[in-house]
Chains A and B, each alone.
Chain A
Amino acid sequence: MKLTKFSNLIMGAALVLAAAGCHHAPPTVTHLPNGSLPIAGEKGFNPDQTTPIAAADPKPMDTSLGIPPTNGHPPSDWDRMPDVLQGQTVYFEYDKSAVKVSEEFKLDEVAKYLKANPTHALLVEGNCDERGTEEYNRSLGERRSLAGRERLVQMGIDASRIDTITYGEDKPAVKGHDEAAWSKNRRDDFVVLVPKATKVAMAQ
């Protein structure tokens, strides 16, 4: 049994070493994985919904004539007269850019004015209410200004006489956080543009 003492010593040493080793071993480092997420079995995932749009959805509704916009009447040569047609501001439904039938009489008035004043031009300013994200609203405001211009072209006005611009939600007509305000902000404003010489003549 001499060996017992010796093996006790070894065991004791091993215990100490093991304990020391456990104490000084650093915490393990965890790395985030590189693998891709599983595709099958994702909750709510419907594989049919990723088919290309031409196959899965009907043809998109044609809501635009696709007339390229122009900025043909720069402030250097043209003056703004925002009051002339301010009563004809056209209002839109939430999240829509189609001109409502009930608003069309205003466009008739705008077209009538432009036909009566052949040297004048027009700027259509598209706007949105605050209930959209900013870049979404910038694009929606652009659609609204283009839609107003398209209706006027359909009514016989030359496209080259009409400029467009979007202000997204940057220029509310009415500040407020309710439908009374929002409904006044979803709009096309019509700004008459007159050649600078004309305005001088008109003022005399």
Chain B
Amino acid sequence: MMRKYFLSTLTAGLLAVCFYNSKAQDNSIEITRPAMQPGVTPPIPIAIVGFTGEVASAVKFDLYVMGFIEAPPDSAKYVLNGSNNGNVQGQLSFGRSTRFSKSYSGAAIRAQAHRLSDDVVKDVTGINGIAETRIAFKVDSGPTSEIYIADFDGHNSQAVTHDHTIVAAPCWVPGHFALYYTSYKSGVPNIFFQNLTSGDRNNFAHYGGMNSSAAVSSDGHRVAMILSKTGSPDVYVCDSDGSNLKQLTHTKEDESSPCWSPDGRWICFASKINERRALYKVSVDGGEMIRIPTSGVASPSEPDWSPDGKWIAFTAQMGGFEICVVPAQGGSATPLVSGEDPSWSPNSRTLVYARRNGGNRVLSLLDVPTKQYKDASRVSGSAASNSQPSWAR
């Protein structure tokens, strides 16, 4: 009697499990992970098999800087199997199940490889990858420097300026193929706006003194910058047509490197009060400077606020330079890697930054959760510094 009862219960249980699993095929189950843990997240082991040449190196580079680590198939969690005879095709497996099987056509083979990398990242993590994004940066060959744009990994670089003067601090207009940057073309540091589609540009800020460090709000409607027009470098904000200029800081010290909160309400910047360097924020409507503590590190500068609003990346100076992140409201800062001048990717996970290599700077890409980093391709090899990157968001 008991045995029959037991068997029926077991049967019912197994049937229930079966139905549960088939339901699971229709509804994805969302598991909430804890907030990003910078620098201590283990990378995801993946086998990358069957690709050759440029496609292999691009896919491996992409996945490494997006938080994967290459592993042999028998110890990897995922296997990416594919080929590139003509076009790229790839199949992602997880254990014995196939996650996707895709082939790509059109565009350059490198672009196909990047799309495959992003498809892997999207499938595995659910977030958008960054393998098809772009950066702007400064190339300094000594006496003069120019603004360049390139793929996020430094490939396909193109010069944006050809003025044979000093340039600095390029910043993308969010969502647009356009830049602001500092140039000494007219003899003094002014901020220029350039439409990269048409090549048209105008001298956006040419007040007396220094005009530099433009930063554009997420909606593209306002520009923050450093002007010294009243006698000391201070943070200003204006509309994208230059109107409604407003001075936000009034200190006797030098402010630098403004960046926007993604909600457009705050400007974060570096300053110094009573000889102590720190990060501050000020409301775009004006008001008090509020210090953003970065405990555990010294002399913070060049902040950048993550697009998801949660983190501020910055450079700390303690002997050398360290890329650090701190929660956006301030707190304990986490040093991640030697380097300076970080800029967040659109997915708030990767940073592009500059690293000193001998006498020159090179651009490098850092996956914040795993701390994995790799240098981007360099413009002009060892003859020039590549620095001051800005990630298109």
Q: Which residues of A does B touch, CB under 8 Å? A: 3-4, 7-8, 10-11, 14-15, 17-18, 20-33, 35-37, 39, 42-46, 49-58, 60-71, 74-75, 95, 97, 131-136, 138-140, 142-143, 146, 164-168, 170, 175, 177
Q: Which residues of B does A touch, CB under 8 Å? A: 4, 7-8, 10-11, 14-15, 17-22, 24-25, 28-36, 94-97, 99, 125-127, 138, 140, 145, 166, 168-169, 182, 187-189, 208-210, 212-213, 226, 228-233, 251-257, 270, 273-274, 277, 280, 287-293, 295-296, 301-302, 310, 315, 317, 321, 327, 329-332, 340-341, 359, 387-388
Q: Is the CB of A23 within 8 A of B317?
A: no
Query: A14-B18, A25-B25, A135-B256 in contact; A69/B231 too (CB < 8 A)?
Result: yes
| C-alpha gap A79/B6 in the complex (Å) | 102
User: Who on chain B is nearest to A31 by CB?
Assistant: B126
Chain B positions within 8 Å of A22 at CB level: 17, 21
Chain A positions within 8 Å of B36 at CB level: 32
Q: Is the CB of A18 within 8 A of B17?
A: yes
Query: A25-B21, A136-B301 in contact; A32/B127 too (CB < 8 A)?
Result: yes
Q: Is the CB of B327 within 8 A of A37?
A: yes
Q: Is the CB of B251 within 8 A of A60?
A: yes
Main secondary structure of the interface of A (DSSP, over half): loop
Query: A15-B14, A21-B22, A23-B96 in contact; A133/B253 too (CB < 8 A)?
Result: no
Choose among A26, A30, A45, A71 the residue that contacts B126 (Cβ–Cβ < 8 A): A30
Chain B positions within 8 Å of A4 at CB level: 4, 7
Q: Is the CB of A60 within 8 A of B273?
A: yes
| C-alpha gap A49/B35 in the complex (Å) | 24
Q: Is the CB of B293 within 8 A of A69?
A: no
Chain A positions within 8 Å of B341 at CB level: 133-135
| C-alpha gap A25/B19 in the complex (Å) | 11
Q: Is the CB of B97 within 8 A of A32?
A: no
Q: What 3 A-B pairs come out closest when comparing CB atoms?
A: A21-B21, A52-B288, A69-B209
Tell me the smallest distance from the CB of A182 to a CB of chain B, in Å. 14
Q: How many A-B contacts if CB must be within 8 Å?
A: 250
Q: Is the CB of B11 within 8 A of A11?
A: yes
Q: Pull 11 A–B residue pairs with CB atoms less than 8 Å apart, ordered by A.
A: A24-B21, A24-B25, A26-B24, A30-B125, A42-B327, A42-B332, A60-B252, A60-B273, A133-B301, A133-B317, A135-B213
Which of B94, B145, B229, B289 has the most CB atoms of chain A within a 10 A radius of its CB? B289
Tell me the smallest distance from the CB of B348 to a CB of chain A, in Å. 9
Q: Is the CB of B4 within 8 A of A11?
A: no
Q: Is the CB of A14 within 8 A of B231?
A: no
Tell me the smallest distance from the CB of B308 to a CB of chain A, in Å. 9
Choose among B24, B302, B332 the residue that contacts A136 (Cβ–Cβ < 8 A): B302
Tell me the smallest distance from the CB of B256 to a CB of chain A, in Å. 4
Query: A69-B208, A139-B256 in contact; A53/B290 too (CB < 8 A)?
Result: yes
Chain B positions within 8 Å of A64 at CB level: 231-232, 252
Q: Is the CB of B228 within 8 A of A142?
A: yes
Main secondary structure of the interface of B (DSSP, over half): mixed
Chain B positions within 8 Å of A66 at CB level: 230-232, 252
Choose among A14, A69, A143 the residue that contacts B14 (Cβ–Cβ < 8 A): A14
User: Who on chain A is nearest to B369 by CB?
Assistant: A32
Q: Is the CB of A164 within 8 A of B209?
A: yes
| C-alpha gap A63/B383 in the complex (Å) | 40
User: Who on chain A is nearest to B78 by CB?
Assistant: A27
Tell me the smallest distance from the CB of B240 to a CB of chain A, in Å. 21
Given contacts A53-B280, A69-B210, A95-B277, 6 further A-B contacts (CB under 8 A): A28-B24, A50-B293, A61-B274, A68-B209, A135-B301, A139-B213
Q: Is the CB of B253 within 8 A of A63?
A: yes
| C-alpha gap A170/B166 in the complex (Å) | 8
Q: Is the CB of A146 within 8 A of B387?
A: no
Choose among B35, B95, B99, B187 the residue that contacts A33 (Cβ–Cβ < 8 A): B35
Chain A positions within 8 Å of B331 at CB level: 42-45
Q: Is the CB of A27 within 8 A of B97?
A: yes
| C-alpha gap A21/B387 in the complex (Å) | 53
Query: A60-B273, A69-B209 in contact; A44/B332 too (CB < 8 A)?
Result: yes
User: Who on chain A is nearest to B29 by CB?
Assistant: A28
Query: A21-B18, A27-B94, A44-B331 in contact; A134/B126 too (CB < 8 A)?
Result: no
Q: Is the CB of A30 within 8 A of B31?
A: yes
| C-alpha gap A95/B182 in the complex (Å) | 23
Query: A66-B232, A136-B257, A139-B233 in contact; A44/B14 too (CB < 8 A)?
Result: no
Q: Is the CB of B332 within 8 A of A43?
A: yes
Chain A positions within 8 Å of B28 at CB level: 26, 28-29
Chain B positions within 8 Å of A70 at CB level: 208
Chain A positions within 8 Å of B292 at CB level: 50
Q: Is the CB of A53 within 8 A of B188?
A: no
Q: Is the CB of A56 within 8 A of B291?
A: yes
Q: Is the CB of B35 within 8 A of A35?
A: yes
Which of A20, A133, A138, A165 has the most CB atoms of chain B within a 10 A radius of its CB? A133
| C-alpha gap A31/B29 in the complex (Å) | 10
User: Who on chain A is nearest to B138 by CB?
Assistant: A134
Q: Is the CB of A33 within 8 A of B254?
A: no
